[in-house]
Structure 1
């Protein structure tokens, strides 16, 4: 088995999520059986069992604060439209329905499940009977074990919030056409913090704290009264009964920073941490301190902030990226770390590895190099990997990240490593629209959507060629989701710049995509483009790959999930029909899933097809 395939097959685990009032009970995601599923872990006994078992995998799950129940989201074949289900943490008793019943009855653990295969089982019970399927928009579970606040989104209803209580009828407490969702439930279960975009800007949320009956307690809206829209986000209520402090994120100084908002008094305590880049935070379990996550120039690190003294203390982590962290009751910190060269591992500040999956270990890759290129909107940060000891010019893959509000970082990624193994240099560009470089950089792409990002990608392409890294006759533009969109748009608007295009789950026909996609993404598109396709047709036309399809010269490979609610299949088919009509060189692969796949074999198949397509058309 080649190293690139081992990186996909090697078992991985997520950062374990532990129950607030039962910290020895935890939930994590693993691909140990070949499909990403949820696993229950009793840290006191060391036992681990597979809790979900679905053909297309399961990753959305949470423990109730008492650790007695696992809630998980059940959709259909990856379409993200479904209901919350639940099962006991210990699993189902013999004879009961549920995907984990045989694992419990026969004492199978993770290793045995991976070796022996998965048992078929019925579905767990609906967590909130009678609540119709929807797209999820947040979930908060009460410590009393009887209360849940469920955020939902549908095309018909817009955004709704519901309160479910054991023994009582589920009540709708909020409804609006624009995007909204559940942020958190206070420790005593009396207050709900929610994010909403009633003002119409889906990129910048306002906050509202409401009671369980839906009545308003407090509001915070940084979008009002200014020339710029500023976003807010819920980070969590203080984990102490009767404590009305809410930790939030704000953008008042042009980047994400934490702030403590006392709902009762209205006082806002701005931490003003002297850290460059974006800063987020979460509470330590006793409410005395904050765990600070600091992201800057594609790397991240952790700090501890003592609320009483305002002392900021560095938590030592290796250079690279921390993709998740949690403070435990004993004040140790567990975190998921990786770098471009080193595979992910869950570590603890107590020393050692917290959770080590069984089986083969993922082979290492090569480190990234940082490149800064002057672009039309400012300095552009790019991350470059090249085969060890190789000198240019090399066949080069421009792998474009999705989002667009996301960024590439110095973190382990199996797909770029695979291209490097096959002799390619890989360039990843944090174009305007990316997070981690300040609010102005993230917000810059409005109205000229897609075209702005491609200006930055073009500037980095020019550097790659003139520096001697990239062979101008062997340049691959590729990406997934928003990266797939930019790939197709780039092939049409920059036809002389790219030798080959590989687009996964892309936006291909922006107008049709808008009409077919989930409601929350329609709101985002209205924000980005300034209206609907009927209101701003010229902007949609200018930003749609379909507009430029007749200019495409490079061979095109497209993969798409037939159940994708984000980049729906009909708009991909429209683009492919146009390619076929002019007999352009192209290949299409459709698979039975949604916006990507949680099945390891499927991921490997897709990348193998991409590598083979590149080899056929580029040669070596």
Structure 2
């Protein structure tokens, strides 16, 4: 019932390309007698995700852990306390789902991180082997999955270059061997939102109007016939997005919880798809607001994010009262309401490692073995930028005074934001004497719709204007040494790193780019179909339709202006930032003997293997040491 950790509905963005955490080595030391440094312990310390649980068997749960050194799925029987590793693949597994009856575990099987594959399933108790979950469907990129409480109704979203977005249904009356019925197809991106509690209604998020940043909603029956439509795009230049948060968990209840942006931020409302009635909750909270149902449908668990921190609330439908669910100051990365009324949530801060807590006062899952060392807290900085006040989070070694070598760690997404949450990567730089600055540039979530939508058409360049404003503050305030400034990031952050090194060549002493967009035109033609839809929205067309915009925003355009040493790491199976466009950029650097190093690894958009992640961080630290002194 949770919305984090093991859900298959990963969004179409490029993500952050980083998984912090690790496994227990049992010794706390590396080979020989040398003690393991704190920065490595933070990656190796065992971690767990917020457990998903079966709606009709809440004692059965599914979570992700790195207990073996690779992130994999684990089954947990809360009644007996037994835990069992479900998947075991060289490059890890994180996409999984429990059937509502708790009998089956579904998981997505791709090849070496390329995100192109099929759904498999196995019995929760491990009594059988993996089997194809939906026979008759060819491999694809996943676009949502929903399994009915009857155990027979299944809704599968797919995305391929040939077919665009399709949705298929396995109906309860299907004969053995029948192929799943296709009920939806469109060239633009779409996906499965949810299946109603009685298994008769399917909510679809789609972007048929051509704006992949702002979805519309359609509710259909299992035969594909339309029940209701909700579209806030208005057919004009101002697009407003909608998202499916879930059907009411009660048979016959046709209410759908929906996220909307009608007041310039994300917030929930209740839409009765049978009557068309919309109930606006109008929650008096600043910032973005999301929600999920309590299991009996009488209340909502409200997740609230504001200025890089998060907290929880309960909204009661009968009294219309909003009551705070007490959590410490920091970030709540996921939460779920249990049938007994308690709330389980994953909490951390920049200084304190994650812990899975319950409002009952207990720690829900406490992995045995090595504990991750803490780090230093963040300081909030607000800087006036060209598009408004920019929020940045700053960490520096305890007791240190500037000017310090400083890493600008740029988040991915771009529709994401840095928060006061525990991150092993930034903490590693602090351990080595660096200050770390993380900027929630325009395009980031959590600061209103206009802030998120601002990057259209001048993609990359707008974000770098905000980063430049914070860079100027960091130097003028005495925090940062202007001669030892590092621009770094993964995925979209890697893209901004390469673009920044070329468009601001005198501003940066070093660049570290992980799984980046490097040649935007080639990236567009090679990437997964859902990302092509996103890029058409960002740029207002394809590279052939608006070539000047792609050229202005592509790092390859400015590669010959790069002065700083560049370190690039890339997964050879990456479908989001494909390897060919990275090689095009690297070849241009090599052609003029620019100082650069490239590390290629056998995975996709980042790695789920702890040793591999540690190796990459060690290579970045060493590259910075050699070139900055």
Q: Does 1:4 align with 2:10?
A: no
CA contact (8 A) 2:202 2:222 kept: yes
**Partner in structure 2 of residue 18 of structure 1:** 53
Encode CA deviations 1:100-154: one digit per residue, 9 max, x unaligned. xxxxxxxxxxxxxxxxxxxxxxxx1110112100000000000000111000000
**Partner in structure 2 of residue 42 of structure 1:** 77
Q: After the TM superposition, which of the residue ranges 433-442 and 351-360 deviates more from structure 2? A: 351-360
Q: Does 1:62 align with 2:97?
A: yes
Q: What are the within-5 Å matches in structure 2 for residues 63-102 of structure 1?
A: 63-93=98-128, 98=129
1:291 alignment partner, one of 276, 295, 301: 301
2-side partners of 1:314 and 1:250: how far apart?
Answer: 22
**Partner in structure 2 of residue 131 of structure 1:** 137
Q: Does 1:553 align with 2:563?
A: yes
- What's the C-alpha RMSD, in Å, of the aligned pairs? 0.6
Shift of 1:225: 4.3
**Partner in structure 2 of residue 312 of structure 1:** 322
Q: Does 1:195 align with 2:205?
A: yes
**Partner in structure 1 of residue 421 of structure 2:** 411
Shift of 1:226: 4.3
Structure 1, gaps ≥5 residues long: 99-123
1:32 alignment partner, one of 67, 75, 79: 67
1:176 alignment partner, one of 160, 168, 186: 186
**Partner in structure 2 of residue 481 of structure 1:** 491
CA contact (8 A) 2:259 2:267 kept: yes
Q: Does 1:274 align with 2:293?
A: no
2-side partners of 1:264 and 1:448: how far apart?
Answer: 42
**Partner in structure 2 of residue 591 of structure 1:** 601
1-side partners of 2:472 and 2:531: how far apart?
Answer: 33
2-side partners of 1:269 and 1:418: how far apart?
Answer: 47
CA contact (8 A) 2:135 2:179 kept: no
Q: Does 1:535 align with 2:535?
A: no
2-side partners of 1:358 and 1:569: how far apart?
Answer: 38
**Partner in structure 1 of residue 159 of structure 2:** 153
**Partner in structure 1 of residue 29 of structure 2:** none
CA contact (8 A) 2:141 2:158 kept: yes
Question: Which protein has greater RCO, CA pairs closer than 8 Å, 6+ apart?
Answer: 2
1-side partners of 2:119 and 2:158: how far apart?
Answer: 11
**Partner in structure 1 of residue 355 of structure 2:** 345
CA contact (8 A) 2:356 2:365 kept: yes
**Partner in structure 1 of residue 408 of structure 2:** 398
CA contact (8 A) 2:197 2:251 kept: yes
Shift of 1:227: 3.9
Aligned to 1:597, what secondary structure does the other structure show?
A: coil
Aligned to 1:459, what secondary structure does the other structure show?
A: helix
**Partner in structure 2 of residue 509 of structure 1:** 519
Aligned to 2:513, what secondary structure does the other structure show?
A: strand
**Partner in structure 1 of residue 226 of structure 2:** 216
Shift of 1:352: 1.7
1:499 alignment partner, one of 491, 509, 525: 509
TM-score, normalised with respect to structure 1? 0.95
Aligned to 2:199, what secondary structure does the other structure show?
A: coil
Shift of 1:92: 2.9
Number of matched pairs: 590
Aligned to 2:612, what secondary structure does the other structure show?
A: helix
Aligned to 1:526, what secondary structure does the other structure show?
A: helix
TM-score, normalised with respect to structure 2? 0.93
Aligned to 2:198, what secondary structure does the other structure show?
A: coil
Aligned to 1:70, what secondary structure does the other structure show?
A: strand
Encode CA deviations 1:360-398: one digit per residue, 9 max, x unaligned. 000000000000000000000000000000000000000
Shift of 1:265: 1.0
Aligned to 2:451, what secondary structure does the other structure show?
A: helix
2-side partners of 1:398 and 1:583: how far apart?
Answer: 26
2-side partners of 1:616 and 1:250: how far apart?
Answer: 49
CA contact (8 A) 2:136 2:179 kept: no
